[in-house]
């Protein structure tokens, strides 16, 4: 099925909206999309209820995916069928620290949770094309905006890929960064692993919590069942003596798992659950890091979506 079947004529296409705070922008999109005709079919819903659901989802984690795109969405009881709208903004709308100019607002019945993920998958493939992205921002009328999407025939029955669920790159370090900087970054952001990147944004290694714990500890610790008989020994003497002068390039391991943007959801789950990778780093055709997937990403976007 073409996902444009889930739109409502002109109400779903909203170009050239004025910039506004995030919640106000969502309210404007929602007001234009859900008018009297919508609420006559969905009488148990209200503008405020839907807006609260959208804001609640944003409070869990931003739906911004990078490149000025966001997919605010909500699963709603009593919604008769899925619906979405596309709005473009003259000035960026801030979704946490991410500036957004293309907002795809998606509403789905609570009984059909995977529909919104499939919509996002197809819409993101269109929006992440730089030429199409520019065309969408340049569209001046609802008809122009709709025709851009219609031309690409987005269908809901295509498989979900890495590009569809990855989170935009956030935390990374360089080879020359000192280990105290790396460990602090990981600690304050609760990271199990952080990639080491070069100036081209290519992944060249990874520093994990396990690697930091192992650093400086005697080899025999790995074979001990108890440390009670050497309680007075301080294994961190070497750690504290060396860590200030150690760089990320010396500490990193070649464990980083890079995958292409068209990696399938089953391959993703296999790598995370069976091969036990902490993170998957999604790279483009030129090898540059463009997104990250971990177990939380899969739980949030697929299982708990």
Evaluate whether residue 167 is within a structural domain.
Answer: no
The pLDDT tens digits of the residues spanning 199-250 come to 999 999 999 888 887 775 555 555 555 555 555 555 555 555 555 678 899 8
* Alpha-carbon span 258 to 255, nearest angstrom: 9
Evaluate whether residue 140 is within a structural domain.
Answer: yes
- The whole-model pTM stands at 0.62
DSSP string, 60-77: HS--EEETTEE--EEEET
Structural domain for 138, as ranges:
3-158
Same domain membership, residue 144 and residue 24:
yes
Same domain membership, residue 223 and residue 85:
no
CATH number of domain containing 239 = 3.10.580.10
Same domain membership, residue 141 and residue 194:
no
Task: Give how many domains the chain has, as a whole number.
Answer: 2
Computed from CA positions of residues 18, 126, 31, 35, in that sequence, does the dihedral angle turn out positive or negative? positive
Same domain membership, residue 48 and residue 150:
yes
* Alpha-carbon span 220 to 164, nearest angstrom: 45
Same domain membership, residue 227 and residue 114:
no
CATH number of domain containing 112 = 3.40.930.10
Same domain membership, residue 137 and residue 21:
yes
Q: Of 158, 189, 220, at which residue does a domain stop?
A: 158
Evaluate whether residue 168 is within a structural domain.
Answer: no
The pLDDT tens digits of the residues spanning 62-121 come to 899 888 999 999 999 999 999 999 999 999 999 999 999 999 999 999 888 778 888 888
Q: Give yes or no for a contact between 105 and 54, defined as CB atoms under 8 angstroms apart.
A: yes
Same domain membership, residue 192 and residue 143:
no
């Amino acid at each position: 099925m073409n996902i444009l079947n889930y739109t409502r004529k002109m109400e779903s296409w909203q170009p050239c909206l004025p910039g506004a705070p995030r919640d106000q922008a969502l309210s404007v999109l929602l007001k234009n999309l859900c008018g009297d005709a919508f609420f006559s079919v969905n009488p148990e819903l209200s503008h405020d209820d839907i807006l609260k659901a959208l804001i609640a989802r944003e409070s869990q984690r931003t739906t911004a995916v990078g490149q000025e795109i966001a997919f605010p969405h909500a699963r709603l009881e009593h919604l008769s069928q899925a619906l979405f709208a596309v709005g473009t903004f003259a000035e960026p709308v801030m979704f946490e620290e991410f500036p957004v100019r293309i907002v795809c607002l998606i509403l789905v019945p609570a009984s059909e949770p995977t529909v919104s993920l499939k919509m996002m998958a197809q819409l993101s493939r269109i929006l992440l094309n730089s030429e199409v992205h520019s065309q969408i921002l340049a569209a001046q009328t609802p008809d122009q905006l709709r025709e851009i999407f219609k031309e690409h025939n987005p269908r809901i029955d295509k498989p979900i890929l890495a590009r569809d669920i990855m989170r935009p790159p956030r935390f990374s370090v360089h080879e020359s960064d000192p280990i105290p900087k790396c460990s602090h970054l990981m600690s304050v952001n609760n990271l199990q692993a952080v990639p080491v990147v070069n100036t081209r944004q290519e992944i060249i290694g990874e520093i994990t919590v396990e690697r930091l714990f192992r650093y400086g500890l005697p080899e025999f610790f790995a074979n001990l069942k108890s440390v009670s008989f050497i309680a007075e020994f301080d294994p961190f003497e070497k750690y504290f003596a060396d860590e200030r002068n150690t760089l990320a390039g010396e500490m990193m391991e070649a464990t980083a798992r890079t995958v292409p943007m068209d990696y399938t959801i089953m391959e993703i789950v296999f790598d995370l659950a069976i091969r036990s990778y902490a993170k998957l780093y999604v790279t483009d055709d030129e090898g540059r890091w463009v997104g990250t997937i971990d177990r939380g990403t899969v739980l949030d976007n697929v299982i708990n979506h």
